[in-house]
Amino acid sequence: MPHCPPRPGRRSPEDHPNGRGPESPDATALRNACAESVAAALTDTADIGGFFTITVGGPDRGRHPVAADYARGVPDLITANTERYGTPEARIGASIMQLGHAARLWSPVLACTIVHGLVPDLTDLHRAEDGLALRLPAPGGRCRCRRDARPAWWRPEGADP
């Protein structure tokens, strides 16, 4: 998985002057994650299953921002669920749609956070015109270096290469 280049002067949490590394603001502060790291994390976690899939990049044709769906109240998804489950009540279709959509938003974010230590930014998320497939036109997110997930380039100051 690609990693962002180190910040100049970054030290190991163990080398922090107070000896408690993770409690220092620098060690726990979130920073922008590299686009390559976010894309690789989303690709990796998509292998878990359909609810974990958010594709990155690709053509805009046949997709639209989910913000537009939220503004309209997602009538197409509610209708599709109401018909799929054969219920006469739109509120049942809306409930099923909401739970499914929430799972498709939450699952990849949680997986990327747990497995890769970064949180994808879904602000510009898009949805397929003909279904539930989600896509980010460009990856972005936030991360912090964790003690147990040091990138390959990391080594304490003064350590032999």
Q: pLDDT tens, 70-104?
A: 899 889 899 999 999 999 999 999 999 999 999 99
Q: pLDDT tens, 15-42?
A: 444 444 444 445 556 788 889 999 999 9
Q: For residue 149, is pLDDT > 70?
A: no
Strand pairing category for 126-128 and 134-136? antiparallel
Contact 136, 63 (CB under 8 A): no
Residue written as token pair 């990155």: 56
Residue 110 dihedral angles phi and psi, to the nearest 5°: -65, -45
The count of other CB atoms within 10 Å of the CB of residue 18 is: 7
User: pTM of the predicted model, to two decimals?
Assistant: 0.70
Q: pLDDT tens, 96-105?
A: 999 999 999 9
C-alpha closest to that of 105 among 143, 63, 64, 52: 52
